[in-house]
Amino acid sequence: MDFLKSVTSKKALEMILSLPYIPKTDIAGVEDALNRVLAEDVISPEDIPPFSRSLVDGFAVIAKDTHGAKETNPRFVYLKGEIKIGENADFAIEDGECVRVSTGSMLPEGADSVVMQEYTRNLLDVIEITKVVHYGENICFRGDDFKKGDRILGAGKRLNYFDLGILSSIGKSNVLVFRKPTIGIVSTGDEIVAIDGVPGSGQIRDINRYTLGGLFRKEGFQVIHAGIARDDVKEISEKIVLLKDKVDIILISGGSSKGEKDYIIDSIETLGGNVLFHGINIKPGKPTIFASLWGKPLFGLPGHPGSCIMVAIRFVLPLLKNMEGEKDQTLKASISGVLTMNIPSNIGVEECVDVVIEKKDEGIFITPAFAKSSVISAFTKSSGFVVIPDEKEGYEKGEEVEVYFF
């Protein structure tokens, strides 16, 4: 077929991510903020920790009082008292004095290190120290984590569980986050029937609705399915219109490479949309369509399940992350290993090849699956995929390659 505006993978991603979109925001409680993207810089209103504290059970001391201490020549300091966890240290220590502390205890003024209990001996109100400690040893000083006024988390950061701990440490129970875009899916094709239907001759059940939906729901996005449309411009257009006011992005599965008639392109143009490109120099997934309709991004995805899900991973997910306000949308390598056989490819086409990862005593080994784009079962057996750049004529056995998990 005649691909109207075929582009390279790099150019396609640039065009996709440059489509204007203003993310909406929500207020999320910390318990519900995991994997959400910050829409504001978080500034610490206080020093964290708010007081210097001991990291071990032992004795808070002045480090110079322990210099030269060893088992056969201990140093002696006077025990001034004890500070338990949660108690306020309302006194100071001076040269030659110490205080008994527990892990987490507040340190008294003057103390600059803590001797672990196992390197001490009790002699009534005197403590023998048998090991030298240095300034700051076994202590977390006030503000060691971050200080008042520090920017501790930046807008565009996807929150992980450590970040939730940081938010809780400064008492920030609610945080401004970007709203996750809602995705609309239309399945198309005379050959497609619903999951509970009985396929007739030449028909198959709707696979892409569930693989796409599963992928996006796993990432926390809401998905709306508008149903199955026949290969008919009017019917496809009607299904698209159903999603107009309900979603932020529209995906049309199937029909992007019909050949005789461009049903999806005609539907987009009938509704007043603008096709930005038709075709990416990749394998699988070449007949991908990208358009703008009602100010919303619209993808026409290949019908073959392998091609469809690969394009969704490579191009739709980065856009969704961008729409969600995340600064970094790049595909991240998950693991690297050595190829067990050659992977041929053609110059000028960026190719994604499903692979199986094997971990052995000698290292990590990568074996290509060479799955057909229409065969969905290959994905359940594969560990991930390798990307062969369009300027490279494949990889050779023994080369180290990066594998991206699905």
Same domain? For 237 and 111 the reply is: no
Q: Are residues 222 and 278 in the same domain?
A: yes
pLDDT in tens, 232-254: 999 999 999 999 999 999 999 98
Classify residue 238 by its DSSP letter: H
Same domain? For 196 and 309 the reply is yes
Q: Note the pLDDT of residue 260.
A: 46
Q: Average pLDDT for residues 80-94, to the nearest whole number?
A: 96
CB 281 within 8 A of CB 390: yes
What integer pLDDT is reported at residue 2 of this predicted model?
Answer: 52
Q: Give the rounded percent of residues in the chain with a pLDDT score beyond 70.
A: 96
> Is 78 within the bounds of a domain?
yes
Of 87-96, 245-254, 366-375, the range with the lowest mean pLDDT is: 366-375
Lowest mean pLDDT among 258-262, 310-314, 348-352: 258-262
The HSE-up count of residue 254 (CA atoms within 13 Å, CB side) is 24
157 shares its domain with 293: no
Whether 328 maps to a domain, the answer reads no
Kindly report the CATH number assigned to the domain that includes residue 339.
Answer: 2.40.340.10
**CB atoms < 10 A from the CB of 71, how many?**
10
Same domain, 118 and 211: no
Query: Which residues, at least 6 apart from 156, have a Cβ–Cβ distance to it below 8 Å?
Result: 37, 38, 325, 326, 327, 328
Residue 189 has pLDDT above 90, yes or no: yes
Residues 197 and 284 in one domain: yes
Last residue of a domain, one of 260, 288, 323: 323
Average of pLDDT values for 319-325? 94
| Residue 230 placed within a domain | yes
329 part of a folded domain: no
- Same domain for 60 and 158, yes or no, is no
Q: What is the total count of domains within the chain?
A: 4
Q: pLDDT at residue 5 above 80?
A: no
Q: Which amino acid, one-letter code, is at 320?
A: L
pLDDT for 256 equals 63
How distant, in Å, are the alpha carbons of 48, 374, 387 from that of 341?
A: 53, 23, 15
Is residue 158 situated within a structural domain?
yes
Q: How far apart are CA 268 and CA 262, in angstroms?
A: 10
Domain boundary among 88, 110, 140: 140
> Coil, strand, or helix at residue 337?
strand
| Contacts of 395 by beta carbon, 8 Å cutoff, 6+ apart | 339, 342, 343, 345, 386, 388, 401
Q: Which domain holds residue 99?
A: 53-140
Tokens of 366: 């990568």
Question: CATH number, domain at 174?
Answer: 3.90.105.10
Q: What pLDDT score was predicted for residue 349?
A: 93
Q: Locate 38 and state its tokens.
A: 């910050």
Band the pLDDT of 1: cuts 50, 70, 90.
very low
Scored b (16 or more CB within 10 A) or e, 327-356 reads: eebeeeeeeebebeeebebeeebbbbbbbb
| Nearest Cα residue to 63 out of 52, 77, 49, 45 | 77
Q: Cα–Cα distance between 37 and 320 in angstroms, integer?
A: 12
Residue ranges with strand state E in 109-248: 113-116, 120-123, 126-129, 139-140, 151-153, 174-178, 182-188, 192-193, 204-205, 222-229
Whether residue 372 sits in one domain with residue 256: no
**DSSP summary character for residue 21:** -
Q: Does residue 163 belong to any structural domain of this protein? A: yes
Q: What is the mean pLDDT of residues 310-339?
A: 91
Mark which of 110, 140, 170 sits at the end of a domain: 140
The DSSP code for 314 is: I
